[in-house]
Structure 1
Amino acid sequence: MVLLRDLLWSHADRVQQQTRLVPFRGNNTWVQITTPDSPRAGALPLFVLHGGPGMAHDYVRNIAALANETGRQVIHYDQIGCGRSTHLPEAPVDFWVPSLFVDEFHTVREALGIEQYHLLGQSWGGMLGAEIAVRQPAGLASLEICNSPASMALWMAAAAELRAQLPVESRAALDRHETNDTLDDPEYAAATEVFYRRHVCRVEPMPQDFVDSEKQMLADPTVYYTMNGPTEFHVVGTLQSWSVIDRLQQITAPTLVVAGEFDEATPATWAPFIEQIPAAHSHVFPGASHCTHLEQPEEFRAVIAEFLAAHE
C-alpha cells in the first residue's frame, strides 16, 4: 500500500514530481518520483540511493535532472531514520544493519510497482547498491556505484592517507580532540572542514543541497553516528567491519563505477569493484572529489546517461 502525501507539478522544469509515503516495518519511507513530460519508450526507471548513512536525499536531488535528459522516471527516497522518513532515535544499535536498507529498497520498489530498473548509489548509497546487486534481484538492468568503497577497511586506510596530507595544525587538532573525546569542540569542526573542502565537496560556497542534507543529519545523527561515526574519517560505527569484496563476483548486472580525482573514495577503495565484478567499467572525473554530481553536474549526468542508455 502506498499513501499519497503530496503531489507537485513543475511545468517550468517540464517534469512531474510526486511524493509519497510507503509503509515499511510499521514506519514510513518518504519517496519522490520525478517523471518527464515526454517519457522515452523503453527507458527504465532509475532509483537513486543517497549516502551517509543518514544524509537524506537532498544533496543528490539534482540527479533528478536525468528525468528530462533521458526521458525516464527518477526515484529518490529518504532512507528510514532520516530526512522526511520516520526517525527512530530509540532504535537499538543492532537495528541499523545493511539488510534493513536492502529490505526497504525492495519495499519501495514493490510499492511503486516497478519490476525493471536501474540503480544508482552515491557513497554509502553505492555500498547499499552493491548489497542489493549481490543478491541478484530480478529486473536490475544496471548498477552505478558512485564514490563508494568496497570495504570500510579500505575506506579507513584511504582516509588515513589523505588525513596525513592535511596541514600540521589541522592534523594536530584532529588527533588532540579524538584522544580527549572532545569532538564537539569548534576547533575539531574547523579541522574536519579542511578535510571536507579537499575531499568531500570542492565547491565554494558549499552547495545548498549539501547544506540541507548535512543540517538534517546533524539535527538527528542517529543513523550516521551509529553506523559510521562522528566524521568521514573517524569511523567507529557498526559499518566499521563492513565489506562486500568476497561477494562481488555474484553481481551479474552491468556496473559502472565513478569517482573524483580528489575523492575520499580513492582508487584503492573501489578497485575491487573493477577487479571482481564481471565487465565492470570505471570513470574518474578530473578535478572533482566525493560529491562529483555537485561539482560537475552536467558531466556527471552525461556519463551516467550514456551508461543507462547502453543497458536498457
Structure 2
Amino acid sequence: MQRDTRLIPFRDHQTWVQITTPDAVKRGALPLLVLHGGPGMAHNYVANIAELADETGRVVIHYDQVGCGQSTHLPDAPVDFWTPALFVDEFHTVQSTLGIDNYHLLGQSWGGMLGAEIAVRRPAGLASLSICNSPASMELWVQGAAELRAQLPPQTQDALDRHEAAGTVTDPEYLAATMEFYRRHVCRTEPFPQDFLDSEAQMEAEPTVYHTMNGPNEFHVVGSLRDWSIIDRLPDIEAPTLVVAGEFDEATPATWQPYVDRIPDARGHVFADCSHCSHLEKPEEFRAVIAAFLAEHEDTP
C-alpha cells in the first residue's frame, strides 16, 4: 500500500489527511473515509482500518479532525466554537478538496456520532454508513456508563465518586480507578496497543477538544455534548447503515439500538468478547465484517 499525507485548508486552519492507496484499485470499489473518535482522539487508534485498502482494493482516507493530532490546534478557541456542525463542515471540505464524489463513511465512537450527523443531511454520494461503538444520545451513554460503573469493585466506585465530587479528577487514585473501567469496557487487549496509546498521549498533551466537548474521561460527561442526541433525526438517514459494537462495550446495547430501530435501512452486529475498540481487539474479524458490508453497496463486478 502507498500512504500519502497532505494538509487541506479548512476555514483559517489546516486539516491533516492520510490517503492509503492499494497496490491495485479494484474496479467499482469506492473510497472509504474514516472518522476518529474522542472528540479529539486523532486518527492513530483507528489507523489499522487502512488495511482495508489492500484487502478490498479501495482507497482509505484518515484525517485528524481540527484541534487534535497533526491538524491545527486551537487551545484558545471558545467553547461554542466546538460544535458537531464544525466537524460536518470539515468533513465535506476534506471530501470535496480530494475530489471524491461517491464514498463510504465509517465512524468510530464520536466518529460514528459525527457520521450520523453527516448522513442525516442526506449528502449526495454517500453509498453507506458504518457506525462503530457509538451512542445515539449522550443521555443514553451516561446511563449506560452508570450501569457499568455499578459493576466495578466497591473501592473503585468509591474512588471515582469521591474525586468527581471533589473535582480532583487528575489524582492518581482517580486515574487508576478510571483505568480499571477502561480495561473492562474501552479496550480489553493487554497491554493496550501502541496505536491506542498514541491517540491517548496526543489527547493528554492537547485535551482542549476532548475536555470541552466530552469531559475528563469516557464516563464523566460534563462537556458541551452532554445534551447531544440524534435519535429524532435518524429516520432522515437514507444510506444503508451498519451498526457495530462489542459485547462488553461502554456503548451498551441501549445506547446504539436507536440507530438500528430508527434508520430505515440499518442492521447491527456485535463482536463477542470485545469492548469499545473492537477494531483493535479483533482487527481481522472487524475488517471482514466491514468489507462485506461495503461490497454490498457498490457496483463491483
Fold-level match, TM-score > 0.5?
Answer: yes
Aligned residues of 2:119 and 2:237 also touching (Cα < 8 A): yes
In 1, Cα distance between equivalents of 2:77 and 2:295: 41
Aligned to 1:81: 67
Tell me if the contact between 2:239 and 2:265 (Cα under 8 Å) persists in the aligned partners. Answer: no
Are positions 1:248 and 2:234 aligned together? yes
Q: Does residue 22 in structure 1 map to residue 13 in structure 2?
A: no
AA at the equivalent of 2:122: Q
2:24 pairs with one of 26, 38, 47: 38
- Please give the alpha-carbon distance, in whole angstroms, between the structure 2 residues aligned to 1:55 and 1:187: 23
TM-score by length of 1: 0.95
Moved over 6 A (4+): none
- 2:138 aligned partner, one-letter code: M
Matches within 5 A, 1:263-278: 263-278=249-264
**How far has the Cα of 1:133 moved from its partner?**
0.1
Equivalents in 2 of 1:29, 1:75: separation in Å?
12
Which whole-Å CA distance do the structure 1 matches of 2:128 and 2:172 have between them?
A: 43
Give the whole-Å Cα distance in 1 for the aligned partners of 2:179 and 2:146: 16
Alpha carbon RMSD of aligned pairs, Å? 0.3
> How many pairs were matched up?
298
Corresponding residue number in structure 1 for 2:149 = 163
Task: Tell me, in whole angstroms, the C-alpha distance in 2 between the residues paired with 1:28 and 1:134.
Answer: 26
Q: Report 1:132-281 matches (<5 A).
A: 132-281=118-267
| 1:130 maps to 2:138 | no
Equivalent position of 1:62 in the other structure: 48
Q: Which segments of 5 or more consecutive residues in structure 2 lack a partner in the other structure?
A: none
Q: Within 5 Å, give how 1:2-21 maps onto structure 2.
A: 15-21=1-7
| Equivalent position to 1:116, from 102, 106, 119 | 102
| 1:94 corresponds to which of 66, 80, 83 | 80
How far did 1:131 drift? 0.0
Q: Distance in 2 between matches of 1:282 and 1:245?
A: 16
Q: Does 1:308 align with 2:294?
A: yes
**Contact kept? 2:39, 2:209, Cα under 8 Å:** yes
Question: For residues 46 and 281 of structure 2, what CA distance do their matches in structure 1 show?
Answer: 12
**C-alpha distance in 2 between matches for 1:38 and 1:182:** 53
* Identical positions, percent: 74
- Partner SS, residue 162 of structure 1: helix
Secondary structure at the counterpart of residue 174 of structure 1: helix
Aligned to 1:61, the other structure's residue is in SS state helix
List gaps (5 residues or longer) in structure 1. 1-14
Q: Give 3-state SS (helix, strand or coil) of 2:163's partner.
A: helix
Q: Which has the higher contact order (CA 8 A, sep 6+)?
A: 2
Shift of 1:279: 2.1
**Secondary structure in structure 2 of the residue aligned to 1:28:** strand
